[in-house]
Amino acid sequence: MTDHALADELEALRTQNERLAERVADLEARQNSNRDDLPTTDTISHEANDRLKKENETLRQENDRLDERVTDLEAHIETLESRLADCESETTRLDRATQAAHRRGATLKESVAELQARELEKGAHLHDSNVEPTDLDVAGDRVERITKEDGTYVRLPEQRDPLERGGATTLAHGDLLPIQQLARMDADMLRSTTNALPTRLAAQLWKARTDETVGDDPWRRGSKAVQASVKASDLKHWIRRQEPGTSESYAKKLVSRTIDALLELSKNRLAIHRKQERKNGLQYSERRIVLPADAEIPGETARTDTEAPGTADVHG
């Protein structure tokens, strides 16, 4: 029961007690008046007198019970008020401790950010998980992320780590082609980055060429002049496998849009060739997406002419 409810009940009991006391007083006055008015007690109805006495006694007992209840409630209210005061005091203490902790935390965060900024300016490479770039005050107000053998690091642009920690440095994220950046994203991140289905398909297609764990790889390894290629017809079947329920006519449209996205996102490192094909005695021209052997792909080493051309499984 809350403090307000107890207070309301106490007030109601006090009011009831006062009414009972007034009633007892009225009955006693009536009894005394009756005694004074009647010439003899013989004329007073013994039955009425007994009834009044019993009623008077009942009211006194009820009044005593209410007095006890009021006393108990008052004692309980005092206990609750004492507990409330203790809680308010503890809350005040905790609020002050929390505010002090926040101030210390903010000061510590500023100190760490300042130390990190100074270390970065000395050439340090810091683990990406330990750094909040927006909190750093560094020369040029710009940092970059790079990938090493043991994870991702933050550094000032083009700064070499004097301690050479983390293994060999590969490429910074900004050095990659847009298609490479998208291909490194997982499905959820890719979907949140772009709403365009052809763009997502282009990223998945590029990843299938470079990541053996993907499995469904429509690329074919080429000759001396071509690293890899994909026929438009194979791309159409691949798209329908990636997007179940896609009709053949819509898949054909997606082939053209995916090719356009590949060219744009690879900054024209890829090319489109047309090759004469023959099927069922009929000759037709088919587009091929071609990655030339001499294409400059960041982080990839082009195959030399002395390397034998390989072959890959053909997906239907």
What's the angle, vertex CA 152, arms to CA 174 and CA 165, rounded to 5?
115
Report the pLDDT value the prediction gives residue 211, as an integer from 0 to 100: 80
Residue ranges per structural domain of the chain: 3-102, 126-172, 179-292
259-279 b/e with 16+ CB inside 10 Å = b?
Answer: bebbbebbeebbeeeeeeeee
pLDDT at 194: 87
Specify the pLDDT at position 59: 85
Task: Say yes or no to pLDDT of 313 above 60.
Answer: no
Question: How far is it, in rounded angstroms, from Cα 114 to Cα 135?
Answer: 9
Contact 183, 207 (CB under 8 A): yes
Distance CA 310, CA 306 (A): 12
> How far from the centroid of its chain's Cα atoms is residue 312's Cα?
42
pLDDT value of residue 314: 33
Look at residues 316, 312, 276 and name the one whose alpha carbon lies nearest to residue 291: 312
pLDDT at residue 77 is higher than 80:
yes
* Residue 34, token pair as written in the block: 């009756």
In percent, the amount of the chain with pLDDT more than 90 equals: 20
What pLDDT, in 10s, does the model give residues 242-275? 999 999 999 999 999 999 999 999 999 999 998 8
Query: pLDDT tens, 192-222?
Result: 888 899 999 999 999 998 887 788 899 998 7
> pLDDT over 70 for what percent of the chain?
80
- Residue ranges of alpha helices (H) inside the chain are 3-37, 46-121, 178-183, 187-193, 197-210, 232-242, 248-265
Given this model, what pLDDT does residue 304 score? 38
Give the other-Cβ count within 10 Å of 7's Cβ: 13
pLDDT digits (tens, 9 = 90+) for 23-76: 777 777 776 676 665 555 454 567 777 888 888 888 888 888 888 888 888 888
Q: pLDDT tens-digit profile of 86-118?
A: 888 888 899 898 898 888 888 888 888 888 788
Stronger pLDDT, 278 or 227, i.e. the higher one:
227
pLDDT at 295 over 90: no
pLDDT (average), residues 290-311: 61
- Between 2 and 68, residue with greater pLDDT: 68
For residues 291-311, average pLDDT: 60
Confidence band for 229, pLDDT divided at 50, 70 and 90:
very high
Question: How high is the pLDDT of residue 39?
Answer: 52
CA distance 175 to 172: 5
